[in-house]
Amino acid sequence: LSPTEQRRIQQLTLDGGTVTIMFTDLVNSTAITTSVGDARAQQYLRVHNAILRTEFAAHSGLEVKGQGDGFMVVFTSARQALRCAIAIQVRLREYNAQQPELPIVVRIGLNLGEVISEDEDFFGTAVILAARVAAQAVGEQILISPLLHRILEHSGEFVATSIGPRALKGFPEEQELFAVEWQDTAGGSVS
């Protein structure tokens, strides 16, 4: 992101603006490291990071932090965030078709809400919920929160199916989560 885009996201959050928060997680990263060794696992992680960071940049996402085998990213646009998530899964599917012996499998969770910005990081209930949504996803799945689903359901651009209510750690009530359909997306184009 350009410094201007980064300042825009920072300003939005300072002004009580709304952002879309994405968490990604590389599935089975510890098992992969123990099975292929540290050097090969680190190369695998570098490829993962490059693919995801390319899509974050292409979709105006601000990488807040890397978490070893995943990322926290914020977007000013819910549509751009979802386009990014789909593009990541499509790119990984293409990569895995060429590298089937060691596929890169990622799960993604997204939520929308107001956040607190402090020391180049983001905090608050919306962030925690996004992390919990991601934790419910399985490999190659994109899950979204009920609020994000309500905002995007009439866009005509995305299709998401309820996976039912889920108990999320730290939240008193179950949350109905939605799986975004992306497998039929050809060539990384989302329209």
Cβ burial of 170 (10 Å; 0-12, 13-18, 19+) is exposed
Order of strands, sheet of 175-180, starting from the edge strand that comes earlier in the sequence: 62-66, 70-75, 18-26, 106-114, 142-144, 175-180, 160-166
Q: What pLDDT, in 10s, does the model give residues 140-182?
A: 999 999 999 999 988 889 999 999 999 999 999 999 999 999 9
Both tokens of 152, joined, read 């995007």
Spatial distance between the Cα atoms of 164 and 86, rounded to a whole number of angstroms:
21
pLDDT confidence tier of residue 9, bands split at 50, 70 and 90: low
Q: Which residue has the tokens 């990384």?
A: 188
Mean pLDDT of 84-94: 98
Angle 70-13-17 from CA coordinates, rounded to 5° = 115
The pLDDT assigned to 46 comes to 96
Mean pLDDT of 27-49: 95
The pLDDT assigned to 39 comes to 96
Question: How much of the chain, in percent, has pLDDT values that exceed 70?
Answer: 88
Angle 157-160-161 from CA coordinates, rounded to 5° = 155
Structural domains of the chain in order of their starting residue, each with its CATH number: 3-180 (3.30.70.1230)
Q: Which residue has the tokens 């990488």?
A: 63
C-alpha count within 13 angstroms, C-beta hemisphere, residue 14: 9
The pLDDT assigned to 98 comes to 96
Question: What does the mean pLDDT of the chain come to?
Answer: 90
DSSP one-letter code for 105: -
Mean pLDDT of 25-37: 95
Q: 3-state class of 178 per DSSP?
A: strand
Alpha carbon separation from 140 to 15, 136, 186 (Å, rounded): 35, 12, 15
CA-based nearest residue to 190, from 100, 79, 62: 79
